[in-house]
């Protein structure tokens, strides 16, 4: 997904880039919502100026992965057991897509409501699977005939005894290196692209492992921002440990 978006950005613009925001709202009982938002509004505005958004329509839609999996159950049945299990794990995820050609808006959220934060561990995989809902994408049409781009970054979340942890990791170092090398041409065009964490907790934050993090006035929300390319190269830059007050 990341690679596709980078290549798309290069093709249609030079200084405009998409922004990514990962949000968490955590309740005291450990339940909550985790989401990744991709804002392509600037890209849409550029494409509109170039006259390439004629097929865009105004929409505000929520699509469930459960419905997508049901719709594609025949093709999914031909996949390996491991891949079927991976897709099954995402059936509680949802896609929220907002497009409006009049205001040049294009925002996509992948989110999951969880009882335990470990249920959000497949969020990045869901992000990769959801690329077909982006207007103009052809991946839905070809899904049964092509190999899915591998997920190169995984994230594990945990929340125990008032301590939250986000641990990002590279799934396959060889594939990661190959994909990063193939993106070198994108670096000059993506200097402004950011990946932001914005997490809200049920209690005031006592301490955080990131020195340059920003905090809300009530001390319950933390925000960490990094370069998108920096994160792709080294996912550890967005590792985070937060300790809450008793």
In tens, the pLDDT along 138-191 reads 444 444 434 455 668 889 999 999 999 999 999 889 988 888 887 776 666 666
Model confidence pTM above 0.75: yes
In tens, the pLDDT along 16-27 reads 456 889 999 999
Share above pLDDT 70 across residues of the chain, in percent, rounded to a whole number: 73
Query: Do the beta carbons of residue 106 and residue 46 sit within 8 Å?
Result: no
Cα 78 to chain centroid distance, Å, stands at 27
Q: How far apart are CA 162 and CA 144, in angstroms?
A: 44
Neighbours of 124 (CB within 10 A): 22
Domain count along the chain: 1
**How sure is the predictor about 90, in pLDDT bands with cuts at 50, 70 and 90?**
confident
Give the domain extent around 170: 2-244
């Amino acid at each position: 997904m990341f690679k596709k978006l980078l290549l798309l950005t290069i093709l249609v613009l030079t200084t405009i880039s998409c922004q990514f925001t990962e949000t968490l709202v955590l309740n005291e009982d450990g339940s909550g919502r985790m989401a990744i938002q991709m804002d392509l509004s600037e890209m849409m505005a550029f494409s509109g100026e170039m006259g390439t958004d004629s097929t865009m329509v105004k929409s505000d839609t929520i699509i469930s992965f459960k419905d997508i999996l049901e719709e594609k159950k025949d093709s999914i049945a031909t996949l390996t057991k491991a891949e079927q299990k991976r897709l099954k794990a995402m059936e509680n995820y949802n896609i929220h897509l907002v497009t409006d050609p009049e205001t040049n808006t294009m925002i996509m959220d992948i989110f999951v409501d969880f009882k335990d934060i470990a249920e959000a561990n497949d969020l990045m995989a869901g992000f990769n699977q959801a690329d077909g809902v982006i207007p103009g994408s052809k991946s839905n049409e070809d899904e049964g005939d092509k190999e899915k781009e591998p997920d190169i970054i995984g994230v594990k979340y945990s929340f125990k005894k008032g301590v939250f942890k986000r641990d990002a990791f590279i799934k396959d170092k060889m594939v990661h290196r190959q994909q990063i090398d193939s993106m070198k041409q994108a670096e000059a065009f993506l200097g402004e692209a950011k990946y932001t964490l914005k997490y809200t907790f049920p209690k005031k934050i006592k301490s955080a492992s990131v020195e340059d993090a920003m905090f809300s006035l009530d001390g319950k929300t933390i925000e960490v921002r990094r370069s998108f390319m920096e994160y792709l190269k080294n996912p550890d830059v967005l590792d985070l440990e937060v300790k809450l007050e008793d």
